[in-house]
Each structure stands twice: as structure tokens, then as C-alpha cells.
Amino acid sequence: MRLSTALVACVVALLLVTSSYAAGANVVSGSAESLKVSGYAQARFTHNSDKDEDSFNIPRARLGVSGDVIEDVKFKIQADFGKGGVKMTDMYLNLTRWENADVTIGQFKVPYSPEVVGSSSKLDLIERPAISSALAPDRDIGAMLHGAVMDGRIGLSAGAWNGNGANNSSNDNDNLMYGLRVAREALADDDLKLTLGLSAYKTEDADVSLKNIGDFAGDRDALSADLKLASGPMFIKAEYHKATLDPSPVTVVETAAVGDVTVVDVGEADVDGFFVRAGYMFLEDRLQGVVEYQTMTNDLPGAHDIDGFSLGLNYFWASHNHKVQLVYARLDNGSSEDEIQAQIQIKF
């Protein structure tokens, strides 16, 4: 049985157990405080004028259970039923026994990029920027120590993961991915808030799929810096990412009849880029305008650089829980594409 199938079965079992309770109701068992059933669904329409394509899809339909196992031990299990399939997103335990530090074990998001670590239900635009999606590890299986010091103004996270992504039953080699993140709340008052962050990871993998890059085997060293500035109805967000990719040498059979073999070493290549985004809230926190510029440079052989901008309009009738989003995006990744997307989200 595939790992993702087994994990989804666990979610369904837990949901059946808790089905007699209303979503979010308290269920007391020993020292456990509660079980909470939560989820959200997104329905999307996409029009691509360059390809002359129109389509509807369900990018995400997530259902999960979270709560306390025993005192100082919390859990979360979540599955995604979107895109015509079923897969496990989160399955982890969080140990909260210590005052300034927690330990998380299982499958969860690697603390690298705030844009990727943040919930997809709270995105400012419908899609994440290409550079963040390409270099952020997203979910993986491992263990992490995380906490905060200086009255919560500095957050620290460090951990080790398999490095080959979510829903894999084991590591793809003998090497682990090691990651570290430091975030500081530089300014915090009623009128102005500024958060700065630095993240890094190092890994070597035999077979991993990287979004906007493709299948990859070899060493990856990545570093990122991010900021978020918020003042009243306005925000500015930015992330810069840089990674050095060293693909494993490839064995090529030049002449099948003779059996000549050549080992091709592509050598190191850099992938870097950034995005800058600004937003402003109107109509008593109901309507929000968003603008974003992004760029990504990829030195791998045969790869294309990416440049683009997006204009977005969000209408909230229950904050980010229930919202409608409309986005126009122009992206150049070897050929220019104009795309209009509309998405509605319901969350409970």
C-alpha cells in the first residue's frame, strides 16, 4: 500500500470517529482539550489567451483533524482531495512541553519561505511566485526544533528532513536535508510592523521533482531573505532566493553497438530570483488590491528564465476564510502568456 493511501485512510477513520460532533466542538478525553475538524475548498476558472484555453478545476479541497493527544502533545492530520486525486498534506505531532521551544515530528512544511509555509488559503494572489515555488522545499518528512526568544520577537527553527518531498515512505539516499530559519520582528507597534527573515537549507538527493525546474538529482544549497511591512490597510512583502545546484554526473552510452560510455558532468548552476508585492485594503477591509513583480534566473542547461507581473483583486466576506479572487498575470518563460484567473474559497 502506498504511504499516501495509508495516511488518507487514517484521516477518514478519524473523521468518522468525530463525525457525530459539530465542526470545532470540544471532545474531552483525559487531559486532551479538543478535537477540531477543519477544511476548505477552492473552485477556479482559468482563461489563457495565448493558448486560447478555458478551464474549470478544483485546485484544493482539504479536510483535516487536529487537537491534543495528551497534555503537551498536539497532532494534525490533513488530506487534499483536489486536482482529481487524493494525497496527504500534513501528518505530525507537536510536542509543547517546554516554555520557549516545541518539537515537531512527522510530515509538515519546511520553514524556508513564508510565502510557501503560509497556508494556501491565505494567499494574496491565486498562485505563488515561481522562484518561491521552485526553491522552497514545501512539505517533507522529518523533525524540527522551533521556538521564540526575546518575548517572541525572534523566532528560531532548525531541523532535519529526508529531502525528497512529501508522501515518500523513505529517504531516496543516505543523506538528510538540514534547514535553519531565523525571523525577527524588527518593528511592532499599532501603526507599523516590520518582520525580517533569513532561511537556508542543504541537501543531496537521488531523485526529487522541483516545481518550475523539473526532476533533479544532486546537491542543493539554498539561501533566502524575506521581509513583510504592514501599516494600516497597506502591506509590502518581498523574498529573495538563491540556490546552487550541482547535478549528479550523468552516464551516457554514445554507441550502443560498441558500448562506448561517457560520464557527463554538467557542473554547478545557480538559480536565483525575487518577488515584490504590495497590497491595499479598501471598503472597510472588504476589498483589496494587489500588485506583484517576480523574476527568476535559471542557469541549468536548457532552462528558461521567468519574468512577470500580476494584478489582483480580492473580495472578503469573512476575512481569508470566505473570499473571491480575480487575478490577471503576464508571464514570460521563453514565450509570453496572458492569463486571467477567478477563484472562490469556502473555509470552515
Which pLDDT tens digit goes with each residue over 101-151? 999 999 999 999 999 999 999 999 999 999 999 999 999 999 999 999 988
Higher-pLDDT residue of 293 and 254 is 293
pLDDT (0 to 100) of residue 260? 62
User: 3-class SS at 307?
Assistant: strand
26 in a domain, yes or no? no
Q: Does residue 23 fall inside a structural domain?
A: no
* 187, containing H or E segment: strand 177-188
pLDDT score of 135: 96
The more confidently predicted of residues 19 and 155 is 155
Query: pLDDT at residue 276 above 70?
Result: yes
Query: Does a structural domain hold residue 39?
Result: no
Distance CA 111, CA 341 (A): 28
Task: Provide the 3-class DSSP secondary structure of residue 114.
Answer: helix
279 falls within a domain: yes
Q: Which whole number is the average pLDDT over 291-309?
A: 94
CA distance 297 to 305: 5
Mean pLDDT of 171-187: 95
Is pLDDT at 10 greater than 80 in this prediction? no
Q: Determine how many CB atoms are found less than 10 A away from the CB of residue 23.
A: 10
The total domain count for the chain is 1
pTM, rounded to two decimals: 0.85
Q: How confident is the model at residue 318 (pLDDT cuts 50, 70, 90)?
A: confident
Mean predicted confidence (pLDDT) in 42-53:
90
pLDDT of residue 33: 54
Provide the pLDDT confidence category of residue 251 given band limits of 50, 70 and 90.
Answer: low
Chain segment 254-269, per-residue pLDDT in tens: 555 555 666 566 689 9
Residue 322 pLDDT > 60, yes or no?
A: yes
The 10s digit of each residue's pLDDT in 233-243 is: 999 999 999 99
**In the chain, pLDDT over 70 holds for what percent of residues?**
86
Residue 254's domain comprises: 98-347
**In CATH, what number is assigned to the domain containing residue 200?**
2.40.160.10
In-domain check, residue 188: yes
Domain-embedded: residue 182: yes
Please list the alpha-helical segments (H only) found in 159-303: none
334 versus 187: the higher-pLDDT residue is 187
So what's the pLDDT on residue 23?
Answer: 38
Q: How many CB atoms lie within 10 A of CB 9?
A: 14
Answer for the pair 275, 131: CB distance below 8 angstroms, yes or no: yes
Per-residue pLDDT at 283 exceeds 50:
yes
Residue 310 confidence (pLDDT) = 98
β pairing state of 234-247 and 87-95:
unpaired
Nearest-angstrom CA–CA distance, 14 and 39: 14
What per-residue confidence (pLDDT) applies to 32?
A: 46
For 20-47, the pLDDT digits (tens) are 333 333 333 434 457 999 999 999 999 9
Does residue 2 form part of some domain? no
Query: Between 178 and 283, whose confidence is greater?
Result: 178
Q: Could you give phi then psi for residue 268, rounded to 5 degrees?
A: -70, 150
Reported residue count of the chain is: 348
35 in a domain, yes or no?
A: no
**Which tops the pLDDT comparison, 6 or 63?**
63
Average pLDDT over residues 225-238: 97
- Measure the CA–CA gap between 270 and 240, rounded to whole angstroms: 13
Average pLDDT across the chain, whole number? 88
Choose between 69 and 25: higher pLDDT: 69
